[in-house]
Structure 1
Amino acid sequence: MLAYVAALFFVIFCVRVLHDPRRFSNAVFLGTGATLLAIHEAGVFDTAQPTRLPVAYLLLLLGLGAVAFVFYLIANGVKMVRKEGRRPANLLTLLTGLALVGLMALLGAAGISDSSLLARVAGAVIPVVGYVSFLFLSFVGYAFLYGRLPVRRNVDFVVVLGSGLIGGSRVPRLLANRLDRGRKVYEAQATRGNPPVLVTSGGQGPDEDLPEADAMADYLAERGVPRDRIRRENRSRTTEENLRFSKAIMEELKQDYRCVVVTNNFHVFRAALTARRTGVRGQVVGAPTAAYFWPSATIREFVAVFLSYKVVNLGICMVLGLLGLAAAW
């Protein structure tokens, strides 16, 4: 029975992706289908046939995987601090790893002690952590798939999102990767006889000598993109402003435009959600990011998406926590 329900969720997922791939609910349908299929394959709740994978082995594998993941997060967090400094955003993987260590210690203490207080705390925490973990894995899985959707149709614009300059005027490697990916999309379409307009999007920060859009445009022009095919959006400070102000430029030049938005791979799905919310007609594609930077950036992106639906998500967490507490009571 679970296999049929899982198949239904996968069908709904495919239909919704074909209609609009820029929805967080797509990730939820994908995650639900995958979870039900995993439960079915494990045979945990199937009394009509022998268990395919003994529950003890399954729990052992999950436990070992969790421990390995925690060590990876802590090691990555230490590396992030060494390479990028101690800014709060760079501490996310380290703090997440330490929080999971605390969770494991709580569960272990609740399991071996007779403390009713620890049992109740664990009962309240477990469903909340389970819900957040489910959303995170769904987010990562669908973001991975969305970032690999091909650009199948001709586009009128390629919008490259800014990410800050170094030394007040120089394009850093992170931003250069975005610009190189945007240039490749431009060149691929130009060979078909319909070169799009490249929009460089980024305002001027307090520590910058010029708007990001100007430095980005110069970078592209130095690498062969004709200057008359570049437009500059030099007012934005956030991703939402990047997209809103770029949309105004595109609509001014062509009302029924189609575009591709370029950012880094860890940022693709959230940028796609923002593009849908701001009414930008186009797909978001990603540029490579250093491997050590990806875990922390992915956690940051997930937190931002989670909080963008904070009323629903925090409400569900509260209900699950209360239910878990009542069950443990």
Structure 2
Amino acid sequence: MTISFSACLAAAALVLLIFLRRYDGDRRRFGNAVLLGLCSLLLLAGSFVALSHLHRPVTRTVAAGVAVGTAVGAMAIAGFLLANGIRMIRTEGGRPANLLSLLAGAAILGTLGLLAAAAQVDSGLLRAVATTVLFLAGYLCFLFACFVGYAALYQQVAVRRPVDFVVVLGAGLTDGSAVPPLLASRLDRALALYRHQRARGRSPDLLVSGGKGSDEQVPEAEAMADYLRRRGVPDSHLVQECASTSTEENLKFSRELMERLRPGSSCVIVTNDFHAFRAAVLARRAGVRGEAAGSPTAAYYWPSATLREFAAVLATYPLTNLGAGGLVCAAGVWAGWHG
């Protein structure tokens, strides 16, 4: 079966229309990211088909260049992730969440090694395993590209509409009671949004959300409120939610508090940039009326944090990803045995 350029273009246009309609309805959907990625993939496929029709030898050269570039790029990314993982451990400690860059880099190198071995050894089983791993890696890489690309697009959404609350999601405290730089970045962004709203005649409250961890002396919300109070926010504009222990609880308990204080209220949710899109996805699922805004994060922290957020988003849709992953693995086994 030959796929035409016009068919790819028509499919891309249809997917784009669906994306635009869903994006206009609610920006906070991971499905939007997948649709935008699929549209881009169809356009790339269509371009390649058009090139093959115009000049087949050039197409083979381009395909070979893409294959080599992908392999070299994968090795470069693996090296970067390994180096970043080592820095994360040295800077932030050896907690499991800080190992993600290191593990991702090792996984990429392992996949490349498995593919090289399958190309050298005449074994149907090894070929099937390698092809399955390759297909699954491709599926995850596609979703990760969708996640990163759409999260960057989502961050460009300016918070202009009036809101009743500026909600700040908590993070761990330093020495049990002090606001660390990561959390201070969120609070500073929230304070800027709060002042922006007040400068335009609105009167939002700052709602700080975060409970007391086992290694903390005070609830995160209390430390956050003190930080904002020292920067001129009056107590009458500060609301504390001191019971939550996760992002899901941050949003659930904050919604309940906002509904009690101002029924039907809207908000903007402030967190770090790597966390903003997942916070928006969870806010939608929790019934919170509001978009998420991100504050800057140290560059070395971003890769590991983004991988963590991506894994958490995948876990938010377990049945979808298990089903799709199973189909991808089945396709890989079939292609490996019959290739």
TM-score past 0.5 threshold: yes
- Structure 1 residue 8 displacement after superposition: 2.3
> Could you tell me which amino acid in structure 2 is paired with residue 307 of structure 1?
A
Corresponding position of 2:3: none
Match runs of 1:15-30 below 5 Å: 15-30=21-36
Helix, strand or coil at the partner of 1:199: strand
Q: Which runs of 5+ in 1 are unaligned?
A: none
- Distance, in Å, in 1 between the alignment partners of 2:41 and 2:314 is 20
- Structure 1 residue 44 displacement after superposition: 4.6
Whether 1:65 and 2:70 are equivalent positions in the alignment is no
Q: Does structure 2 retain, via aligned residues, the 8 Å contact 1:179–1:220?
A: yes
- Distance, in Å, in 2 between the alignment partners of 1:283 and 1:271 is 9
Whether 1:49 and 2:57 are equivalent positions in the alignment is no
Whether 1:110 and 2:115 are equivalent positions in the alignment is no
Residue deviations 1:279-328 (CA, integer Å, cap 9, x gap): 00001000111111110011111111111211221122122212221222
Q: Structure 2 residue aligned with 1:284, among 286, 289, 292?
A: 292
Q: Does structure 1 retain, via aligned residues, the 8 Å contact 2:75–2:108?
A: no
> Could you tell me which amino acid in structure 1 is paired with residue 11 of structure 2?
V
Match runs of 1:77-92 below 5 Å: 77-92=85-100
- Structure 1 residue 154 displacement after superposition: 0.8
Match runs of 1:1-329 below 5 Å: 1=6, 2-41=8-47, 43-44=48-49, 47-50=52-55, 54-329=62-337
> Could you tell me which amino acid in structure 2 is paired with residue 174 of structure 1?
L
Q: Does structure 2 retain, via aligned residues, the 8 Å contact 1:155–1:257?
A: yes
Q: Does structure 2 retain, via aligned residues, the 8 Å contact 1:44–1:55?
A: no
- Structure 1 residue 235 displacement after superposition: 0.7
- Structure 1 residue 61 displacement after superposition: 2.0
- Structure 1 residue 188 displacement after superposition: 0.5
Q: Does structure 2 retain, via aligned residues, the 8 Å contact 1:187–1:195?
A: no
- Distance, in Å, in 2 between the alignment partners of 1:189 and 1:306 is 34
> Could you tell me which amino acid in structure 1 is paired with residue 44 of structure 2?
A
- Distance, in Å, in 2 between the alignment partners of 1:243 and 1:106 is 43
> Could you tell me which amino acid in structure 2 is paired with residue 50 of structure 1?
H
Helix, strand or coil at the partner of 1:150: coil
> Could you tell me which amino acid in structure 2 is paired with residue 36 of structure 1?
L
Segment of structure 1 superposing worse, 246-255 or 166-175: 246-255
Question: In the comparison of the two structures, how many residue pairs are matched?
Answer: 328
- Distance, in Å, in 2 between the alignment partners of 1:223 and 1:182 is 12
- Distance, in Å, in 1 between the alignment partners of 2:149 and 2:225 is 34
- Distance, in Å, in 2 between the alignment partners of 1:50 and 1:12 is 33
- Distance, in Å, in 1 between the alignment partners of 2:203 and 2:78 is 47
Give TM-score, length-normalised by structure 1. Answer: 0.96
- Structure 1 residue 156 displacement after superposition: 0.7
Helix, strand or coil at the partner of 2:41: helix
Segment of structure 1 superposing worse, 170-179 or 48-57: 48-57
- Distance, in Å, in 1 between the alignment partners of 2:114 and 2:83 is 22
